[in-house]
Amino acid sequence: MQKKKDNNKRAKNSTKERSSQTISTGYTRIDDEQRRIRRRKREMQVRKQRRRLIMGSFAACFVIAACAFAFLYMNPLFLKAEVIQQEMAEDFNPTQNIGFVFGGKVKQVQVESSVDTSKPGDYEVTYTYRGHKKKATVEVRDTTKPELELQTYATDLAETITPELFVKEVKDASEVKVRFEKEEKWDQAKTYEIGIVAEDASGNETIKKTKLIREKDEKGPEITGADDVDIMQGKDLDLQNGVTVSDNMDPNPSLSVNTDQVDLNSPGTYTAVYTAKDRSGNETTVERKIVVEENPELEEKIVYLTFDDGPSENTGKILDILKKYNAKATFFVTGNNQKHDDLMKRAHDEGHSIGLHTYTHDYAKLYASEEAYFDDLQKISDLVEKVTGEKSYLIRFPGGSSNTVSKKYVPGLMTKLTKAVQEKGYQYFDWNCDSTDAEGNNRPVEKLVANATSSSQKHINILMHDTDAKDTTVEALPKIIEYYRAKGYTFKGLTANSFAPHHKVNN
Ligand SMILES: [Zn+2]
């Protein structure tokens, strides 16, 4: 209210002043009117200008927006970086480099990447969206140092020291080479500080320290397994077998055995000397006592008549002849003619030896594998034990241990089998005199006798065959016995300790 009154007062006063001016000059009223008109004109102009300005701004904004839209439409794909630094062997996801997709989604962008994070190098990634392509370069680099874990190494003064000896574990994305920080002789018995450098393929290096403990080794190697041994005269003994050597420092000490004094063919007590040496020059010797027991057979002149492939219908005739001459022989039997197994029993009961020739005598089956051979051997062993009541440990390989047929099935098989049968407690017998009755049926008796009596060795193992078709072998037998008997030979069946001729193994 107060304000209104004041305004009224002011209005009244100005009217008073104006009246006094009007009174003073006659043109004053007209001037005022003109001024008012001019002012209104100016105001109109200002308003017009303002309107124009606003309209102009609107137009400009519209143009800018249109341009922006057009630009984005032409370049809808924005990448975060055109060059990406990528650590080797770490995960790389090219999609993560997409910054913004105008009018679309990240997953609509096609990404083609040739990046191989396992190899340092520059690779290209191509992003395609609505036909627009963007490229980024990925710089795969190995900037990570190898992870290196070291260990203290203790050894004698003889070992050559290499940096690898100290490395417990080393890890890196690329191949790492280790070397000494500084190479020295390290030839004193003391503790050295050693610097090991691990360098990866990109030249990143890790250096760590560890210790080398050099000790003077004064302890010789230890020899085990050289226990005293009893053996039958004439038998083979591998004196290296079962004897081992170890050392506190040297992982590969040497071992040698001196058997110059040992004669396995003559009864007696012998000493074999084992010598072991480590790399520091420490030596250990162990003496092994070998008692060779007398084998009476070895002192005699003996013929071992052997008949393979039986029993047969000729077995009885052979047994009759042997009975007549009071001679003993050996039958290497098969399981192929079991109707005559009573003759196998008779042979055993009359004091002849029964040996295992195999159950099937089928080369393709027998020599198919080590396992196949032993499966078959078990069958003939069981059969012989069933028929005779006694287990046999005598073996004759079909074709002899020198056969090359087995090569066709398994290379190296006979080398394995000849060792394996002996390790299982068997003895195998080849022959050192061949009657040659296997070369055909009805071979002339004179030929068989001539061949079977061609040997003058102390121990003669004669190969013959006992089959239905070998009639001339039966006919030749008395003459063969008479020949050798006249020369002072006795006729014995084989035992596991008998002289065992072994052919050269060819497979
Ligand atoms: Zn045979």
DSSP string, 24-88: H-SSHHHHHHHHHHHHHHHHHHHHHHHHHHHHHHHHHHHHHHHHHHHHHHH--EEES-SEEEEET
Provide the residue ranges of all domains of the chain, joining segments of one domain with +.
Answer: 77-141, 147-214, 222-294, 297-491
The percent helix, strand, coil of the chain (3-state, each to 5) is 35, 25, 40
Q: State the average pLDDT over residues 89-97.
A: 94
Based on the residue annotation, tell me whether 308 is a catalytic residue of this protein.
Answer: yes
Q: Ligand 1 centre and the CA of 366: distance in Å?
A: 12
Q: How far is the CA of 465 from the centre of ligand 1 (A)?
A: 7
Q: Mean pLDDT, the chain, as a whole number?
A: 92
Residue 326 pLDDT grade (very low, low, confident, very high; cuts 50, 70, 90): very high
Question: Which residue in the block uniquely carries the two structure tokens 């924005």?
Answer: 78
**Are 64 and 119 contacting, i.e. CB atoms less than 8 angstroms apart?**
no
DSSP 472-484: HHHHHHHHHHHHH
Q: How far apart are CA 493 and CA 297, in angstroms?
A: 11
127-136, 293-302, 458-467: segment of lowest average pLDDT: 293-302
Instruction: Give the separation between CA 166 and CA 192, rounded to whole angstroms.
Output: 12
Lowest average pLDDT, out of 46-50, 231-235, 431-435, goes to 231-235
The pLDDT of residue 4 is above 80: no
Q: How confident is the model at residue 27 (pLDDT cuts 50, 70, 90)?
A: low
> Which of 2.60.40.1150, 1.10.940.10, 3.40.228.10, 2.60.40.10 is the CATH number of 147-214?
2.60.40.10
Judged against a pLDDT cut of 80, whether residue 23 lies above it is answered with: no
pLDDT of residue 25: 53
Q: Distances from the Cα of 201 to the Cαs of 167, 338, 367, in angstroms?
A: 18, 74, 53
* CB-CB contact of 220 with 246 (8 Å): no
Task: Identify the pLDDT of residue 20.
Answer: 44
Is it the case that residue 283 has pLDDT exceeding 70?
Answer: yes
Closest by CA to 467, choosing from 243, 247, 313, is: 313
Strands (E), 58-190: 77-79, 83-87, 98-101, 110-113, 121-129, 132-141, 147-150, 153-155, 167-171, 176-180
CATH of domain 297-491: 3.20.20.370
Q: Decide if pLDDT at 13 tops 50.
A: no
Residue 5 has pLDDT above 50, yes or no: no
Phi, psi of 126 (to 5 degrees): -110, 130
Give the Å distance between the CA of 308 and the centre of ligand 1: 5
Calculate how far, in angstroms, residue 309's C-alpha sits from the geometric centre of ligand 1. 5
Determine the average pLDDT of the residues in 6-27: 47
Please check whether the two domains, 147-214 and 297-491, share a CATH topology. Answer: no
For the cut 50, the answer to whether the pLDDT of residue 152 exceeds it is yes
Distance 224 CA to ligand 1 centre (A): 43
| Candidates 308, 309, 430, 466; catalytic one | 308
Domain 222-294: CATH architecture, name and number where available: Sandwich (2.60)
pLDDT tier, 236 (very low <50, low <70, confident <90, very high otherwise): confident
- pTM for this one? 0.54
* Residues flanking ion ligand 1, Cβ below 5 Å: 308-309, 398
Topology annotation, domain 77-141: Immunoglobulin-like (2.60.40)
Mean pLDDT in residue range 380-400: 98
Ligand 1 centroid–CA 464 distance in Å is: 9
The amino acid sitting at 214 is: R
The pLDDT, as a whole number, for residue 26 is: 54
Per-residue pLDDT tens for 49-81?
A: 999 999 988 998 899 999 888 888 888 999 999
Separation of CA 150 and ligand 1 centre (Å): 65
pLDDT digits (tens, 9 = 90+) for 190-230: 999 999 999 999 999 999 999 999 999 999 999 999 999 99
Q: What is the pLDDT of residues 116-149, one digit of tens each?
A: 999 999 999 999 999 999 999 999 999 999 999 9
Catalytic residue, from 348, 357, 459, 465: name it.
465
Weakest mean pLDDT among 55-69, 148-162, 182-196, 350-364: 55-69
- Whether 35 shows a pLDDT value over 50: the answer reads yes
Q: What number of other Cβ atoms are within 10 A of residue 182's Cβ? A: 8
- CA 501/CA 167 separation, integer angstroms: 56
Spacing, Cα 378 to ligand 1 middle (Å): 17
For residue 143, the model assigns a pLDDT of 93
